[in-house]
Amino acid sequence: MKSARVLLLGLVVMATGCRTPDGATETEVPIDVEFAGAGSQFTFRLRRVIEDLLLDFARAPSNEAPLFDAAQDLHDHYLTLGFPDARVDYRVERKATPRVVFVIEAGPRVTVSDMRLTGHSAIGTGELLPLWPRTRSGLLATGDPYYVMEELLVFKASLRALYDQRGFLDAQIDGPHVERAAGAATARVRFQIAEGARYKIADVTVAPTLLLDDKKLGIDALVRGGFDRDSLEALRQRARVQLESGGYPTPRLDLRVERDDANPSVRLFLDGEPGVRARVVAVSVEGQARTARFVLERCLQFKAGEWYDGTKVEATTREAYLTGLFRRAEVQRRPRNPDGTEVELVLVVDEIEARDFDVLAGYGSYESLRGGLFYTDRNLFGRGHRGSLAARASLKSQALSASWMVPHALGTGTSLTTTGSLRKREEPTFEDTSRGADVALARDLIGALRGRIGYEFQARDARVFDGAVRGSAPDAFQIGSVFAELVLDQRDSPLYPTSGHRESVKLERAREYLGGDIELDRLTWSVAGFWSLAQDLVFGATARGGIAWSDATLPVQERFFNGGESSVRSFEEAELGPLTASGTPLGGAYYNTFSTELRFPLVRALHGAVFADVGNVGTRDDAFGLSDLRFGVGAGLRLVLPIGPIRLDGAANPDRRPGEETWVLNLSVGLPF
């Protein structure tokens, strides 16, 4: 029998500690604690569960009540871990140093091998089963759920609440019925559901004093449909919006439900008072220090002389928050006369600190040490414009850039961004110096879908390391292009996503009449999705690619390369694809990359991952496809930090060719996709 001893010593008395009746400071008696039968993997956790109670006993060792409570807490803790047969007792050995021994008979750890829901038809199992807050067993929490009665009872309550929410007011949940042989490590659980009838809405009565329009309330649609709790809240909200938009800022609404179990149906009674109708006689803004007044006034959706409208108040608050300039924005209603029929509406804001200066440092397997200085002003000139300056450097590159963004260009919801940049970067094949600028218009289209169009000009100058790479393409050239881009981003986090998806597509056209020396068309795209399989267990997948068309040989700077820390990780940077006779990467007219990754927690902020990458590069645009795919498989570690994860990946090449590495180690900041 394994045991663990924990020595609790009370060595120092707190100045604010408890005192005995005669005024002496209460002391803590040293005690030994032993967990007999706990198993070494649970010792530390058990001590944490009862730590406070052990200290209580150490202060008053003649009182065993804390030990009784501690044994009960340990028992309850074992139940939550899936040990339904657990028994915990204690004994005290009175010695010079008292010893407390907790005797633990854990029994088998039990999993639920089968969860069965029967008797239901209106709501499917696929919707009911996720209500079970189960803790899974096995490696990476992918095994059967542990048998925890507390979780089953929560599941039962959640089932009942869902049926009540949907209008099944007589629904009964019978269970949990547990089938388990004595001492068995598995159990089967069954819930019997008696849904009963879904209640209908027989009638809706609206008090005439509320002055509401039944058609706008949707009364006819309510009576034709089934009853559910959401319909009640929707009715109340429609009534409030109708009153507030009609000039009544403080309506009182009471919604009563009367059941008819014999039918079965309900009658709804909406009662209350509209309150005083108010007219807006003045409009103002307050709280801005740096922001120009007209920026706030542009957010206002109401004006003096109108009746009060709650929908316009909400729209004003929303517009103020969307500027990104304020940590708080609210519209205050201030009476201008005693009866409240005249009000002043005041948009009150609290500005954020708009200026930021950041210093970032990182490391990449190709660039080695890298860092940057970044200055951002989110309220440039007090007009809500955004300006930024950035300087980046690594052992392979240097870059300077400046940008200016106008959020509401031409008085619309479209932003205008102008950027200028100077960059120098050494690639495995060439060293490139570029100077350029671009101007782009962007706006939200539908939901999270964002569109961007613009023009870009660059002057490029390359020093090619291997003349065989250049071919007939120029080293130095100018390129002027127009582009259009769509991005849909619904990930839960841009730094460490655990669910959601992101898609993007970009089309570029470069022509001489746009100010350049070369002509080409280029299409690039990416798709990525993330799924949470269990607690902190995330599966991600991505597909990325691009193709460029040109009647002439593509300059090396405009070609696609593959391989590296964020593509096919079994290859060094840019080394996947066709090579010259001397082994220099040629790049190509198209590329594809496909990756999958499974991330899982290890210890606190340290996560692990296993992954597989596939990709190719082709030299001819008319041969675009999935031929000559190369592979990489591996595992890695991610240290999750607020600035993004520090990532260490080791990838093996399963179809290694002569001259290629057997495996590659990548160290970087940020996820590969």
Tally the residues of the chain.
673
The pLDDT tens digits of the residues spanning 268-281 come to 999 999 999 999 99
Can you read off the two tokens belonging to residue 220? 């006819």
> Hey, which of 21-35, 152-166, 204-218 has the most confident mean pLDDT?
152-166
Pairwise pLDDT comparison (649 vs 220), residue with the higher score: 649
Lowest mean pLDDT among 58-67, 136-145, 521-530: 136-145
Residue 124 has pLDDT above 50, yes or no: yes
Residue 391 has pLDDT above 60, yes or no: yes
Pairwise pLDDT comparison (94 vs 540), residue with the higher score: 540
The pLDDT tens digits of the residues spanning 486-507 come to 999 999 999 999 999 999 999 9
The pLDDT tens digits of the residues spanning 461-472 come to 999 999 899 888
Can you read off the two tokens belonging to residue 490? 């619904």
Q: Give 413's pLDDT tier (boundaries 50, 70, 90).
A: confident
Which H or E run includes 379? strand 368-380
> Using CA atoms, how far apart are residues 464 and 582, in angstroms rounded to an integer?
14
Alpha carbon of 657 to those of 406, 501, 606, 632, 635: distances in Å?
Answer: 52, 35, 34, 13, 21
Can you read off the two tokens belonging to residue 491? 């990930």
Beta carbons of 595 and 542 less than 8 angstroms apart: yes
The pLDDT tens digits of the residues spanning 300-351 come to 999 999 999 999 999 999 999 989 999 999 999 999 999 999 999 999 999 9
CB neighbourhood size of 571 (10 A)? 24
Q: Give 438's pLDDT tier (boundaries 50, 70, 90).
A: very high
> Using CA atoms, how far apart are residues 345 and 335, in angstroms rounded to an integer?
9
DSSP 555: P
Q: What is the SS3 assignment for 70?
A: helix
Q: Give 411's pLDDT tier (boundaries 50, 70, 90).
A: low
Beta carbons of 477 and 457 less than 8 angstroms apart: no
Say what the pLDDT of residue 643 is: 79
Say what the pLDDT of residue 604 is: 81
Beta carbons of 146 and 82 less than 8 angstroms apart: yes
Residue 354, amino acid: A
Residue 24 has pLDDT above 60, yes or no: no
Residue 366 has pLDDT above 70, yes or no: yes
Mean pLDDT of 478-483: 98
Residue 43 has pLDDT above 90, yes or no: no
Give 389's contacts (C-beta < 8 A, 6+ positions apart). Answer: 374, 375, 401, 402
